[in-house]
Amino acid sequence: MNRDVEKILVTEDELVQISKKLGEQITKDYKGKKLLIVGVLKGSIYFFTDLSRHIDLPCNIDFIQASSYGASTVSSGEIKIIKDISEDLTGFDVLLVEDILDTGKTLKHIHDMLSKRNPESIAIVTLLDKPARREADIYADYVGVDVPNEFVVGYGLDYDQFYRNLPYIGVLKKEVYTK
Ligand code: IMP
Ligand code: MG
């Protein structure tokens, strides 16, 4: 285990099972639809690639990047779109893929922005949900697993751009971000 990690919350095996289970559910729900899966960069990339391989349907993929955090563990609340999607959303059933739903401000901003572009529907799948921290009026249609109110890293999630490549989700030791 990485020495900055206090404990593992979601193991590699559990992550495999989560993608498989959600992928199968999404495959059922989106049969016959015009699916576009949109990964929210950068945090969702590991989950996005694993999940999408369990979606047994024709689909398009795209990416969007927003930022609010910087080198901090709390959201600044001010969302900037750094990279927009390149597809025209008209007629697509859009599925936003996120790493973690925390205050919800990021996804609320992205959801409201994309809603104005004529999609057939927009839904959200998030690997992790921290419901205790929700501020914006937004919920996920599909949730991998609920996590407690602790700062987590790994499998795409970062602190100051590090730890994304850990193969599990772990709680970051407080001394790492309080020093
Ligand atoms: P929100 O706008 O507060 O919901 O924040 C969403 C974004 O903040 C996520 O996409 C993550 O990139 C980041 N984030 C929130 N909580 C954590 C965490 O515990 N670890 C790492 N990143 C987090
Ligand atoms: Mg992020």
List, in sequence order, every residue forming a beta bridge with 40; answer none if it has no partner: 64
Query: pLDDT value at position 172?
Result: 97
Q: Whose CA is nearest to atom 13 of ligand 1?
A: 100
Contact of 98 with 127, CB cutoff 8 Å: yes
The answer, yes or no, to whether any atom of ligand 1 lies below 6 A from the CB of 104, is yes
Annotation marks residue 137 as catalytic = no
- CA of 75, closest atom in ligand 1: 3
Q: Whose CA is nearest to atom 20 of ligand 1?
A: 152
Measured distance CA(154)–CA(160) in Å, rounded = 12
Provide the whole-model pTM.
0.94
Residue 32: band (very low, low, confident or very high) from pLDDT cuts 50, 70, 90: very high
pLDDT for 141 beyond 60: yes
- % of residues, the chain, pLDDT over 70: 95
Which listed residue (50, 102, 129, 158) is catalytic? 102
Residue 76: band (very low, low, confident or very high) from pLDDT cuts 50, 70, 90: low
Measured distance CA(165)–CA(115) in Å, rounded = 32
Place of tokens 């992790």: 128
| 134 CA to centre of ligand 1 in angstroms | 11
Q: Whose CA is nearest to atom 16 of ligand 1?
A: 102
Residue 74: band (very low, low, confident or very high) from pLDDT cuts 50, 70, 90: low
Q: Whose CA is nearest to atom 12 of ligand 1?
A: 43
The answer, yes or no, to whether any atom of ligand 1 lies below 6 A from the CB of 5, is no
The answer, yes or no, to whether any atom of ligand 1 lies below 6 A from the CB of 152, is yes
Neighbour order of strands in the sheet with 35-41: 80-83, 59-67, 35-41, 93-101, 121-129, 142-146
Q: What is the pLDDT of residues 84-117, one digit of tens each?
A: 999 899 999 999 999 999 999 999 999 999 999 9
Query: pLDDT value at position 111?
Result: 97
- CA of 40, closest atom in ligand 1: 10
User: What residues have their beta carbon closer than 5 A to ion ligand 2?
Assistant: 43
